[in-house]
Amino acid sequence: MNAAARPTPAPGPAAPALAWRDAAVGYGDHAVLHGVDLTICPGEFVGLVGANGAGKSTLLRAVTGEAVLLGGSLDVCGVPADELSAPQRARLVGVVPQALPELFSFSAREFVLMGRHAHLGRFERADAQHAAVADRAMELTDTGRLANERVDTLSGGDLQRLTLAQALAQEPHVLLLDEPTSHLDLNHRVQVLDLVSELADGGMAVLGVFHDLDLAARYSDRLAVIADGGIAASGPPREVITSTMLRDVFAVRAVVGTDAISGGVTVTPVIRESVGVAQATGPEVFVIGGSGAAADLIRRLALAGFRVSTGALNMGDTDQAVADVLGLQRVDLAPFEEMDESDERRVGELAARADVRVVCDVPFGRSNVGNLRAVVKAGGPLVLVGEVSGERDFAGGEGLALLERAVALGATTVRDVAEALGAIEQLAPAATREEPRAR
Amino acid sequence: MSPTKTFGLLALALVVALVAGVAFGAVAVSPVEIFGAIGRAVAGAERSSADAIVIDVRLPRVLLAALVGACLASAGVLYQALFRNALADPYILGISSGAGLGAVLVLAATTGATAMRYGAVPAGAFAGAAATMALVVRLASFRGRLDTTSLLLAGIAISYTLAALTSFVMVFAREQMSAVVFWMMGGLTSASWEYVAAVTPMFVLGMVVPVASTRALNLMLLGDERAGQLGVPVERFKLIVLAAGSLLVAAAVSVSGLIGFVGLMTPHMVRLVLGPDHRTLVPASVLAGAVLMVLADLVARTVLAPVEIPVGIVTALAGGPFFVWLLVRQELGR
């Protein structure tokens, strides 16, 4: 039967592009995902995130028929997925897979024209109209100049953009992306995702699997998190990407911030959950930091199995964010709040309890000099990072005086974080140390 | 080289090869006499003995050679697309062992009635080939999917088993050993108009698939998954391709025994010249396969005349070094 002669179900304006309802999806008779409820409307860009092997690609494969729907329903443009013939589906759904197998030496142009297959009758040749669609797809993906190159000689990035062009040549209503930018350089990554965003604005429904959470958050209207055999969370990126979600789904303690330029969500992983920060039994190290001066040291101490506590830090400060995701004992201040006596007393208690104290290379002013006062008063082994000079003193001489006093009392001075780690290892009482945990 | 030019050259080569195939032999016949004999036969005029050589002996032989070559080459194209491997051979799934066992069983069963063999051996070989393919496909199908790796493994396993059975039968039919071995080496010695008539419809039927699905065959080269995403009903299509390829191989094997390398070499050579696009690969391979086979048979008949070498030996002698050359070329290309 002539494939092109079959009518493609007309996607009604009301019909969602993709709709899983209580769907179970898997292979053979084994369900990988259960109870999936997810609806993607024309014009929406939805990102799928989740750990490796969670079933993100399986969800996409349910649309293309490579995975089996074992329960519930899946509608593509208002038609049950299993009622679509292969060519009908190819006229509705375009896919950009992660990678293609070994390729034969077709020209890039022939390769993109292959996307027209489902629109052509059995013996029909691709005429000027079909060629124009392919050319437009190549123009959009910036692959026009490759037209006469052989695909088996191209780089992974060129091939990935050509594969997108091939999918666009299908003129699909739905675009499925499986790690669409894994082989792309920075420039083309932005270009491809900007293009896909534009297509979504033009009414295409886009569902993309992403490993890069920053990119996923920046481009998606909504994110769906796949975990524990189902959709664990779904909603606007800022609501979905939280340090709790990152810990539960990816087993990573990470700081969630805001991108200064785009205003999007940024994810900075700090430490893997399996390091077991909460169960650390090593010597306790007390750290005075601020403005990110201590973030790296804190992270590396935690990795090495030390218990870590910190002095007073303002909320919103980088060091505070790191201490927060690691669940460290510390004294929190409101943004721009100065330390008062009770804060200083609590800092003193933490400092006195620790086996080793570290003062990172931070300037001291009226708001935080209390940290320094408390740590010098606490006594015991102390490591000072950075130069002891008046340049760090914004507290009318008290900061410098305290630093000099600490040196006089026998504090170890080191230049940077790496040396500080060495000094701490030496000062930490051997009896309380244990082997660093597996990273 | 442009596809049109290649087709023209191949068509010309086929005509030349066919004429040469008829012209050379124990008695040489000039092209003028050949066309005269054909004209007289078509007109129904009385035939001379020279005419009989042309019409009853040489003509069916070269036509059968062309058909067998075209069948094997097209089957090679189909198998290579199915396995996404330019070095897949049409015998890769054990079809040759199945045909061999079928032929050997018939040969062993007809020791007292050699006259029966003329029709029974091809029938036995064809049945053996068909049964083998059905078994291999059944073994490799899992949950409605035909996995190409399973297909290969099943093919190899069945192939070895059937080869062992063939040897087993041969032990008990020792006096038939030379007939069996000769059949296995492949040859067109028993060519006749009846064989041409038997193979032609199978060739036409088998060719429907490669001719009507050139675009889908191209898509299969991108992998099953991608082909499906671009609109090929992959599982059904793989079965159809396999069925058509097997029909073509079985047709060829049943009348000519096991002729190696033609199905493997022809599409490969054409691809080197024209590229992987099946829109040109299919017709060019049909023509090239026919040319190669007619020429190989001509060599087999004439080079050591009056002794005739099994044509399978000629194709293997030419094909082996060709493969070594490919290998060296590939190594140097790196």
Residue A259's CB is within 10 A of a number of other CB atoms, namely 12
> Torsion over CA of A13, A46, A182 and A74, rounded to 10 degrees?
-70
Q: Write down the pLDDT at residue A262.
A: 78
Maximum Cα–Cα distance across chain A = 93
What residues 332-391 of chain A have any CB closer than 8 A to a CB of chain B? none
Quote the DSSP letter at residue A232: E
Top pLDDT among A101 and A306 is at: A306
Predicted TM-score (pTM) of the model is: 0.83
Compute the nearest-CA separation of B222 from chain A (Å). 6
Domain A278-432 CATH superfamily: NAD(P)-binding Rossmann-like Domain (3.40.50.720)
Q: Write down the pLDDT at residue A271.
A: 85
Determine the CATH number of domain A14-249: 3.40.50.300
Instruction: Give the closest residue to B92 by CA, choosing from B124, B145, B132.
Output: B132
* ipTM score for this prediction: 0.85
**Residue pLDDT, tens place only, A29-68:** 899 999 999 999 999 999 999 988 889 999 999 999 889 9
**Residue pLDDT, tens place only, B19-59:** 999 999 888 888 898 998 998 888 887 778 888 888 888 99
Q: Is the pLDDT of residue A85 over 70?
A: yes
Q: Is the pLDDT of residue B107 over 90?
A: no
**Residue pLDDT, tens place only, B234-292:** 999 999 999 999 999 999 998 998 898 899 989 988 988 888 999 999 999 999 999 99
Is A14-249's fold the same as A278-432's? yes
A contact test, residue of B80, B230, B268, B273 with most A CBs within 10 A:
B230
Nearest neighbour of A86 by CB, restricted to B225, B226, B231: B231
Q: Is the pLDDT of residue A251 over 80?
A: yes
A30 touches B: beta carbon within 8 Å = no
Confidence of residue A7 (pLDDT cuts 50, 70, 90): very low
Rg of chain A in Å (alpha carbons): 29
Looking at every residue in chain B, the average pLDDT score rounds to: 89
CA B21 to chain centroid, in Å, comes to 18
Q: Under a CB-based contact definition with an 8 Å cutoff, are residues B256 and B311 in contact?
A: yes
Identify the top-confidence range among A66-70, A229-233, B71-75: B71-75
Task: Using the structure block, give the residue that is written with the tokens 């040897």.
Answer: B167
Residues 6+ apart with CB under 8 A from A82: A65, A69, A74
Record the tokens describing residue B286, joined without a space.
């049909």
Task: State mean pLDDT over A301-325.
Answer: 90
By three-state DSSP, how is residue A70 classified? strand
**Where do the domains of chain A lie?**
14-249, 278-432
**Cβ contact, residue pair A103, B221, below 8 Å:** yes
Yes or no: is domain B3-333 CATH 1.10.443.10? no
**Residue pLDDT, tens place only, A189-224:** 888 999 999 999 999 999 999 988 988 999 999 999
Q: Write down the pLDDT at residue B172.
A: 84
Task: State mean pLDDT over B92-100.
Answer: 89
Confidence of residue B112 (pLDDT cuts 50, 70, 90): low
Q: Is the pLDDT of residue B166 over 70?
A: yes
Confidence of residue A5 (pLDDT cuts 50, 70, 90): very low
Q: Which residue of B has its CA nearest to A63?
A: B229
Q: Is the pLDDT of residue A152 over 60?
A: yes
Q: Under a CB-based contact definition with an 8 Å cutoff, are residues A93 and B228 in contact?
A: no
Confidence of residue B120 (pLDDT cuts 50, 70, 90): confident
Record the tokens describing residue B300, joined without a space.
């087999």
Nearest neighbour of B233 by CB, restricted to A85, A102, A104: A85
**Residue pLDDT, tens place only, B178-197:** 888 888 888 898 889 999 99
Q: Write down the pLDDT at residue A139.
A: 93
Residue A59's CB is within 10 A of a number of other CB atoms, namely 27
Percentage above 90 pLDDT, chain A:
49
Record the tokens describing residue B10, joined without a space.
């191949």
Task: State mean pLDDT over A223-245.
Answer: 91
Mind giving me the DSSP string for B20-48? HHHH-SSS---HHHHHHHHHHHHHTPPP-
A91 touches B: beta carbon within 8 Å = yes
Q: Write down the pLDDT at residue A336.
A: 87
A-B interface: how many C-beta pairs under 8 angstroms?
A: 71
Confidence of residue A437 (pLDDT cuts 50, 70, 90): very low
Q: Is the pLDDT of residue A311 over 80?
A: yes
Confidence of residue B227 (pLDDT cuts 50, 70, 90): very high
Looking at every residue in chain A, the average pLDDT score rounds to: 88
Task: State mean pLDDT over B212-227.
Answer: 93
Q: Under a CB-based contact definition with an 8 Å cutoff, are residues A275 and A303 in contact?
A: yes
Residues 6+ apart with CB under 8 A from B141: none
**Where do the domains of chain B lie?**
3-333
A97 touches B: beta carbon within 8 Å = yes
What is the C-alpha separation between B120 and B178, in angstroms, rounded?
Answer: 18
Task: Using the structure block, give the residue that is written with the tokens 């087999």.
Answer: B300
Q: Which residues of B touch A65 (CB under 8 A)?
A: 228
